[in-house]
Structure 1
Amino acid sequence: MKGILIAAGAALVVSILFTPYLIKLFSKQGFGQEIRDEGPKGHKSKRGTPTMGGVAIVAAAWAGYLITHLISWLTSDNAEGISISGLLVLGLMTALGLVGFLDDFIGLRRARNLGLNKTGKTIGLVLAGVAFGLLAMNFPNRSGITPASTNLSFIRDISIIPLGAIGFVIFAVLAVQAWSNAVNFTDGLDGLAGGCSALVLTTYIVITFFQFSHSCTVGFAPGCFLVRDPQDLAIVAAGALGAVGGFLWWNAAPAKIFMGDTGSLALGGLVAGLSIVTRTELLMIIIGGLFVVEIITVVLQIAVFRTTRRRLFRMAPFHHHFELAGWAETTVIVRFWLLAAICALVGLSVFYTEWLSAA
């Protein structure tokens, strides 16, 4: 528990202090956000707001994680050291953050709201997903548990749905693609994606700490969890939560800086990685339900328009539909945060109920 608090606190401080520096730097360099012409008219005033603030989130998450382990080492704490599971999740976050950074940077240099083309972005996400999938199947601990399982998982492995090595890598790529795009689509209003991500990360702090407290490696008992390095994963989630919280201080409406694809893709990779290494891939669909709805509305909008040449929503993703319907931006943000909190609570309830029945 001490490590979780240190990671969250350290990342929060780094994020709050580092983000203003990025605001000044990116403003000086002219790295201002371009706004879609077809978007809500109220967004026109946001043109020129510094973007690529996701750099602060990624840097602060790493800082919180490393500072925690440095303090643990200096104080000769008995806590676990740096784990392969933690490094894999943070590595996936960083890789996707790099893809997003290139997307943002190219778009800013071209002075338009487009960066990497679809092929370039897809290649980057696929390579990151493949590397993560291949590495996660290796590095067993003393109990023979690897960071990821080749079975599809809900709250624990579903043994009747084995994916196999190749199937798991394909699944990892699809999960990385899906969650990174889902968070990216949600990032359209000040603080919306950050607030929703914070709620998901809070849920995963509880889940990973509970998995650590009821780990089969400590002592086999009914309902115990076969998860590698749950304690370290709790530190990863806490560090990321602190990083997002610190960034939200500057990103809340009216935003002084946007996270850009640098932040949204990084957060998408983070939650995708956490869901895989905690064996909760399907449960994540409930926990991150708001992200799921956002990406579904985009898919439906495209499908309906291509078949009927009519729009299902005023604008997709879904949050813009309500803006164009007359809702104030802050109203949409707060209500979507509430919906995200409900999804997280339902997911956490399902997790705990399953443990009760198993135990």
Structure 2
Amino acid sequence: MQEQVLFFTILLGFLITVLLSPFFIPFLRRLKFGQSIREEGPKSHQKKTGTPTMGGIMILLSIIITTLVMTEKFSDPTIKTFILLFVTIGFGLLGFLDDFIKVAMKRNLGLTSKQKLLGQIIVSIIVYFLLKQTDFSTSVEIPFTDYSFELGFFYVLFIVFWLVGFSNAVNLTDGLDGLVSGTAAIAFGAFAVLAWNQSNFEVSIFSIAVVGAVLGFLVFNAHPAKVFMGDTGSLALGGAIASIAILTKLELLLLVIGGVFVIETLSVILQVVSFKTTGKRIFRMSPLHHHYELVGWSEWRVVVTFWTAGLLLAIMGIYIEVWL
């Protein structure tokens, strides 16, 4: 029965996004909500200028509707469902404001980094206080071992770091057609399996609802993309997957399952540190996916390679948690 619930959840999430897209994408075009491509990016991306962005709205609507319908019918919604939707909507709203400023107000940089960071921190702190109302553990388990360390009050700093860090990591990864849609589907799918293994059904339902939503979006986001998710989608997905890792008490395992996002972020950090300290660049361009483009790989080859890496890391994460 539970397997059937997950199947219908992913199907509903997929169908909602697929059915919304043919109406929503032309609507974005009429509003002239087209993507501005940075001049310093790969030259091959300039032809993408004007492609509708803010498609993350479709992903968010699908996630919200699917989660509410399926948890109401097949599970007992609790504070966990509320937190997952709160983070997704909260970070999605920040992304929406960022996208809206870029495309409607013609300010290419969107929200300032301080404004975005402040919003992310506020959402994260609210999550901590929501969890504090329950008997939620403030310890963090170490993968591969039976050990954990207690953070106590400092768990609030961990939550802020995890939510802010992974929302920005997914945002950095969103640079090629279908890259985040595919890697996110894989990562959320892995957490759906792990949450189901814990009998944490409402988290599993939410996770698989995200899988359905992003796979539906991928139909229109795969190369050549007809729509981009924008910060509306990428910030929401990053915050959501960090929240799932926290609620399942698999916080550090996210470093493995979300390894592609981690590597992309590290490539940016290493590039900046290297250039500022030595004046030399490690990569031709960061994040890492742009490096491979400039090496000569086709966009599709880069995306499929990163999907494959994400799949292997997801399998590794499941193996670590379930069988080790």
* Structure 1 and Structure 2 fold alike (TM over 0.5): yes
Matches within 5 A, 1:21-36: 21-36=23-38
Deviations 1:71-107 (A, max 9, x none): x2xxxxxx43212112211210110000000001011
Quick one: which of 19, 22, 41 aligns to 1:20? 22
Give 2:174's aligned residue. 187
What is the number of equivalent residue pairs in this alignment? 322
Q: Are 1:205 and 2:192 counterparts? A: yes
SS at match of 1:263: helix
Larger radius of gyration between Structure 1 and Structure 2: 1
Please say if residues 152 and 158 of structure 1, whose CA atoms lie closer than 8 Å, have aligned partners that are also in contact. Answer: no
Give distance in 1, aligned partners of 2:56 and 2:146.
35
Deviations 1:161-210 (A, max 9, x none): 11113x11111000011100110010000000110000001101110111
Deviations 1:195-243 (A, max 9, x none): 000000110111011111xxxxxxxxxxxxxxxxx11111001111111
Give 2:48's aligned residue. 46
Give distance in 2, aligned partners of 1:94 and 1:249.
23
Matches within 5 A, 1:1-359: 1=2, 2-70=4-72, 72=73, 79-140=74-135, 146=136, 149-154=137-142, 161-165=149-153, 167-212=154-199, 230-354=200-324
Give distance in 1, aligned partners of 2:24 and 2:209.
20
Per the TM alignment, residue 353 of structure 1 is displaced from its structure 2 partner at its CA by 2.1
The AA in structure 2 aligned to 1:298 is: V
Per the TM alignment, residue 160 of structure 1 is displaced from its structure 2 partner at its CA by 5.0
Please say if residues 71 and 202 of structure 2, whose CA atoms lie closer than 8 Å, have aligned partners that are also in contact. Answer: no
- For structure 1, the 5+ residue unaligned runs are 73-78, 141-145, 213-229, 355-359
Per the TM alignment, residue 112 of structure 1 is displaced from its structure 2 partner at its CA by 4.6
Residues 1:263 and 1:35: Cα distance change in structure 2 (over 3 Å): same
Give distance in 2, aligned partners of 1:53 and 1:124.
21
SS at match of 1:34: coil
TM-score (norm 1): 0.87
Give distance in 2, aligned partners of 1:245 and 1:60.
11
Give distance in 2, aligned partners of 1:22 and 1:305.
42
SS at match of 1:161: strand
The AA in structure 2 aligned to 1:121 is: K
Per the TM alignment, residue 11 of structure 1 is displaced from its structure 2 partner at its CA by 1.1
Deviations 1:238-265 (A, max 9, x none): 1111111111111011000000000000
- For structure 2, the 5+ residue unaligned runs are none
Please say if residues 101 and 107 of structure 2, whose CA atoms lie closer than 8 Å, have aligned partners that are also in contact. Answer: no
Please say if residues 92 and 233 of structure 2, whose CA atoms lie closer than 8 Å, have aligned partners that are also in contact. Answer: yes
Please say if residues 9 and 64 of structure 1, whose CA atoms lie closer than 8 Å, have aligned partners that are also in contact. Answer: no
Give distance in 1, aligned partners of 2:279 and 2:144.
43
Per the TM alignment, residue 10 of structure 1 is displaced from its structure 2 partner at its CA by 1.1
Please say if residues 137 and 150 of structure 1, whose CA atoms lie closer than 8 Å, have aligned partners that are also in contact. Answer: no
Give distance in 1, aligned partners of 2:148 and 2:203.
26
Give distance in 1, aligned partners of 2:203 and 2:290.
34
Give distance in 2, aligned partners of 1:237 and 1:160.
25
SS at match of 1:327: coil
SS at match of 1:316: coil
The AA in structure 2 aligned to 1:170 is: L
